[in-house]
Chains A and B, each alone.
Chain A
Amino acid sequence: QSVLTQPPSVSAAPGQKVTISCSGSSSNIGNNYVSWYQQFPGTAPKLLIYDNNKRPSGIPDRFSGSKSGTSATLDITGLQTGDEADYYCGTWDSSLSAVVFGGGTKLTVL
C-alpha cells in the first residue's frame, strides 16, 4: 500500500490529453514539492517534472505538473504512442522522514 495514491491505469487516444492524479496528505504533498517520473519497460525511471511544475531541460512542454492542497496532477497533451509508460509521483514525507512514491500509473495510448 503506497503512501501516495495514483490510479493504476489511464488511457486516451493519440493527440488527446490525459491527466494522472496523485493524492497524499499534509505530511507529504501538502507541504513538500512533488516530482513525476516516467519509466519505460526494462529501463530506469526518468525525471519528468520537479518542484510541482518545473520541467528539466529536454522534457517537452506537452508534459505539465500542478499541485493543489494534498493532491498533484500530471497532464500530458498531444498524446503520442511513444508516451506509453508507467508514471510515478514522488515527494518527501515529513512525518515518515522518508521519500515516498505513488504506486504508479500505466498509460495506454489507444
Chain B
Amino acid sequence: DIQMTQSPYFLSASVGGRVTITCQASQDIGNYLNWYQQKPGKAPELLIFDASNLQTGVPSRFSGSGSGTHFTFTISNLQPEDIATYYCQQYDDLPPTFGPGTKVDFK
C-alpha cells in the first residue's frame, strides 16, 4: 500500500493568517491526490481533487499544488470556520490511502 505522511500533525494560526500543510507519498502518485476537511463530529468534505483543482463551492482561499511524491495544501486568510482536521488521500494505486491528518487551530 502507498503510505501517506503529513506535516505538521498540529498547527495553530491567527485569523487572517496563512496555513501550509505538506503531504508526502511513499511512491510517485502523479497528481492523484485529494484534500479533505473534517470538522469535529462531521464527515470529511472534499476540498481539492487532482492535487490542485478546487471542488465546486469551495472558497478560493483554499489551494493545492504538487505532483509526484510531494504536495502542499494552503489556506490563505484563515477564517474561524476553517478550524478542522485536513487529510490528504491518494488514489493512484489501490487501495486508496489517507494521510494521518493535520489539525488546524487558532493561536
Whether both chains belong to one complex is answered with no
